[in-house]
Amino acid sequence: MTGAFEKALEWIKGEVDNGKPLSTIMLTMPTFRDNELVINKIYSFNPLIIGYSGPELNIELDSKMILKVNWIAKNFGMNVVFSPPDIHILRGNEPVGVVKRDGFGASDPILLSELNRHIGRLSNQYGVKIEVKDSWIKSAKILSMHRQSRRILLVALFIIILPTSLVLSISLTYPYILGGGLIALSIPIIVFLVTSIAAYLYFRRETSISRIKIQD
C-alpha cells in the first residue's frame, strides 16, 4: 500500500511535469493521509522537504525541543542547527528536515515519521488505527537506520553478552578454574552486573556530552 509520503511525492511530480509554477504547487498542496502520517505542506523544493503544518501544534521551540530534535537527528547520523525561529536538520551541509512553531517536515519518510512520533503525534490526533504489521515493519526500518540503536546493540553484544557468556560457559564446563562450587556460579552474575553498570555509565556519558554540545 502506497503511503502518504509517496502519494505526496507522486502528486508534486505530476504538477511539476504539467508545468505548474512552484508557488502554485505550494499553495494548492492537498492533504495526504495514511495509517501514520498526515502531509499537507511543502517546505522547500530544493531539496524537497514535505510534512505537516497546522496552528493547533503550537510547538515550543525551546531548549528542550532542540535537545529532542537533536536526539532524533543524531540517531540518523545528522546534525541540528537552530536558526531562529526554526530548527533545521542537516545531513552534512544538506538540509533534510525542519521544525517550525506550526509544523515540521523532512525529505525522508522515516525521518518524518520520527518527527511525527516524537513531536507531532498526528496519528493519535486524528484517531487513525495503526495496523500491527505495518507498525512492526516501520519499527524495524527505524531501528536499522538509528545510529544510537546500532550502538546499543553493539555495546550489549560486546560489553555485556559476550563476556558474561564466556564466563558462564567456563563456570559450567570447568568450574574448578573459577574456584568451584558457589564461587564459580556467582562469578558470571558479578560479571553481568559489572558490565551492565559499565554500559550504563558509557551511555550516560555520551548523553551528557551531546547535551553540552547543544547548549554551547
Last residue of a domain, one of 95, 123, 145: 145
- Are residues 73 and 162 part of one domain? no
* Residues 6 or more apart whose Cβ sits within 8 Å of residue 52: 37, 38, 39, 40, 41, 103, 104, 105, 116, 120, 122
- Are residues 157 and 137 part of one domain? no
One digit per residue, the tens of pLDDT, for the chain of length 216 reads 468 999 999 999 999 999 999 999 999 999 999 888 899 999 999 889 999 998 888 898 998 999 999 999 988 889 999 988 899 999 999 999 999 999 999 999 999 999 998 887 543 343 333 344 444 455 555 445 555 555 666 667 767 788 888 878 877 777 767 676 777 778 888 888 888 887 777 766 655 544 434 444
- Are residues 204 and 100 part of one domain? no
* Residues 6 or more apart whose Cβ sits within 8 Å of residue 157: none
Confidence (pTM): 0.58
- Are residues 170 and 134 part of one domain? no
- Are residues 181 and 107 part of one domain? no
Last residue of a domain, one of 96, 130, 145: 145
- Are residues 56 and 100 part of one domain? yes
Phi–psi pair at 179, nearest 5 degrees: 105, -10
DSSP single-letter state for residue 152: H
Residue 163 lies in domain: 147-215
The number of folded domains in the chain is 2
Grid cell at residue 9: 511525492
